Amino acid sequence: MAQTVTEIKHRILKDTQRFACQLHRRESGYVILRYVNDRDMRVSDTPIPAGSVTLAHCIEGACSIWWEMYLPDGRPLADLIHITTPVLIRDTEVEYTDLLLDIWHPAGEQPVLLDDDELDEAEARGLLQPEEIDRIRALGREIATDLDASAPPLWRRA
């Protein structure tokens, strides 16, 4: 049976979330976690059915988490990239703070930035400084402009 690794996702505007994931692969400073959706979900306009599989690429110290998402039959569904604080990897945990801005890339479509309005809310509430928001937006644009150049080493090869 695969080792369970807990993904600890701190959120600026909401409560912390914890996800029990299977360890799919581990290398020095790099883990790939596997998670199977237990219910139907939606990201933007894209439905994500129960049984869909997500592979999360987590690199120690990186400022993003990359998810490959597949339909239950194995066909590619989408990619989702969260901009984060530097990722911490421990034996049974991966921990980070989600910095709100996401890059959503449905299969066969162009990537789009999501949740930019949440950055404005975080700034208005004094939870993020303008310089941090500028850095987050710049990183989001950089990743969305050239996914291949920014992708983790084992992206699509896990």
Average pLDDT, the chain: 94
Q: Tens of pLDDT along 136-146?
A: 999 999 999 99
Q: Residue 1: is its pLDDT beyond 80?
A: no
The pLDDT, as a whole number, for residue 44 is: 84
List Cβ neighbours of 66 (8 Å cut-off, separation of 6 or more): 56, 57, 79, 80, 81, 151, 152, 155
Q: Residue 79: is its pLDDT beyond 90?
A: yes
CB-CB contact of 99 with 136 (8 Å): yes
Q: What is the mean pLDDT of residues 39-62?
A: 93
Q: Residue 12: is its pLDDT beyond 90?
A: yes
Per-residue pLDDT band at 158 (split at 50, 70, 90) = low
**Domains of the chain with CATH codes:** 4-150 (2.40.380.10)
Token couple for 83: 């901009």
Q: Residue 4: is its pLDDT beyond 80?
A: yes
pTM of the model: 0.93
The pLDDT, as a whole number, for residue 145 is: 94
The pLDDT, as a whole number, for residue 154 is: 85
In whole angstroms, what is the distance from residue 6 CA to residue 50 CA? 20
The pLDDT, as a whole number, for residue 156 is: 80
Q: Tens of pLDDT along 92-136?
A: 999 999 999 999 999 999 999 999 999 999 999 999 999 999 999
The percent of residues in the chain predicted with pLDDT above 70, rounded, is 99
